[in-house]
Amino acid sequence: GINAEYGELSDWEGRHLLAVQQFYREDYVAAMYTYRDILEKYPLDLHACNLGFELGAVTGHTEFLRDVPLSVVEHYKPHMPHYGLVHGKLCFGYCEMGQYDRAGKSGGIALEAFPLDSWAVHSMCHVHENQAQTEEAVKFLERTSGDWSRGANFSQHIYWHQANGYLQLQQYEEALAVYDEHVEKGTRNGNTFSLSDACSFLMRLRIDGQNTGGREESIARLWAQHIDEFTVLFYDGHAALSAAMVGDTSCLQTMLENLGEYLKSDRGGWNKIVTSQHGTDLIQGMLAMSAGEYGEAADKLLSSISGVMKKIHGSKSQKSIFLLTTVYCCILSEQESHLLGAEQKLKEFYGMEWSDNPSTTFINDFWDKIQLAHSKK
């Protein structure tokens, strides 16, 4: 714990200390609200803005991705150093909330202020992706690559978006070239963020019926080093998916045992709450998929997917791999109840009038497969 004697603290220091203590206890939601409260009194506190925004992503409180930067953006003027940065965050927040016109406007302001802002480029890519504008997203990244590829710690994730775009356009050679040159390279230090990108891309490739060339083997070995950490369910889900892709049932069984110990431990916080609600079914679903038991996998994944999509870390683009995997298992199970379940989940997350609201070409293809499966009944 934090036991040092601090003496007299200012109001600002005391609030930040409280946020750190909450974060230390893994009470990410409380820390998120503390940072929001700091911004009400100190709107130019960029550290509070960054962490309040990030914790909104970590805890699935999507509205915070919009509301945190929106609460302070009027205090940043064009001549100020972080004017573009705050607009880039606002672009992403608007996008995740489905307010695409506003997202595009904020993203344009951010890139006009600082074209090298990788986060703003990334946010604008999401704006295109979430509206199923795959060609526009790919062309945008190609056009701006001279700027964002210079980034030291985020370009790898933008390359993931680019590889996904090529995959959706069925430009498989280009997709794999980007993966091999950039996405996979970022995984070699075992970073979980980079590993999640790699695992997700390879599962998308498999779902699309393409040969992965055994690339998932090295990713699964790296993920196996993280199966007892339980920091956020987003990463645990990817670790389980990676093991399932290579048929490593032993790893998944160990992960379930570790999960049980974690849930019985004294650790608290938001991730433990979410994991206790949805983690076991998610990982058991991956285990069943690994064994080719697609009916059981569909049951487990359908029971957990709503909570996973709403409560865990990540953007819509990132979390969609769990929905894609769920629908994939439902289709392979060929049971009508699972097909209807997949149909319901697609409508739940991508709109009741599907034909008017496609989110990705992947999901659109799945929809066609579901209708085809229905027609065979």
How confident is the model at residue 361, as a pLDDT?
Answer: 62
| Local confidence band at 346 (pLDDT 50, 70, 90 cut-offs) | confident
Please say if the pLDDT value at position 55 is more than 90: yes
How confident is the model at residue 334, as a pLDDT?
Answer: 85
pLDDT in tens, 192-242: 999 999 999 999 999 988 999 999 999 999 999 999 999 999 999 999 999
Name the more confident of 354 and 247: 247
Average pLDDT over every residue of 346-365:
61
Contacts of 356 (CB under 8 A, 6+ apart): none
Please say if the pLDDT value at position 267 is more than 60: yes
Measured CA to CA, the distance from residue 361 to residue 204 in angstroms comes to 12
Measured CA to CA, the distance from residue 42 to residue 89 in angstroms comes to 18
**pTM here?**
0.92
Measured CA to CA, the distance from residue 286 to residue 244 in angstroms comes to 6
How confident is the model at residue 371, as a pLDDT?
Answer: 77
Q: Which range, of 166-180, 285-299, 332-346, averages the lowest pLDDT?
A: 332-346
| Local confidence band at 1 (pLDDT 50, 70, 90 cut-offs) | very low
Contacts of 259 (CB under 8 A, 6+ apart): 230, 236, 275, 279, 280, 283
CB 271 within 8 A of CB 231: yes
Average pLDDT over every residue of 67-78:
98
Average pLDDT over every residue of 174-180:
97
CB 207 within 8 A of CB 362: yes
Helices 100-113 and 118-129: angle between axes, nearest 10 degrees: 160
**Phi, psi of 94, deg, nearest 5:** -60, -40
| Local confidence band at 6 (pLDDT 50, 70, 90 cut-offs) | low
How confident is the model at residue 374, as a pLDDT?
Answer: 74
Average pLDDT over every residue of 102-108:
98
As a dihedral over the C-alpha atoms of residue 215, residue 216, residue 218, residue 220, rounded to 10 degrees, the angle is: 180
Burial class (CB in 10 A: 0-12, 13-18, 19+), 352: exposed
- Mean pLDDT taken over the chain: 92
Helices 233-245 and 270-290: angle between axes, nearest 10 degrees: 10
CB 40 within 8 A of CB 283: no
Please say if the pLDDT value at position 3 is more than 70: no
Measured CA to CA, the distance from residue 338 to residue 264 in angstroms comes to 32
How confident is the model at residue 169, as a pLDDT?
Answer: 92
Average pLDDT over every residue of 238-251:
97
As a dihedral over the C-alpha atoms of residue 43, residue 48, residue 54, residue 57, rounded to 10 degrees, the angle is: -60
Name the more confident of 348 and 89: 89
Q: Which two tokens stand for residue 196?
A: 């999640």
Please say if the pLDDT value at position 243 is more than 80: yes
Which H/E stretch holds residue 309? helix 294-311
pLDDT in tens, 106-161: 999 999 999 999 999 999 999 999 888 999 999 999 999 999 998 777 899 999 99
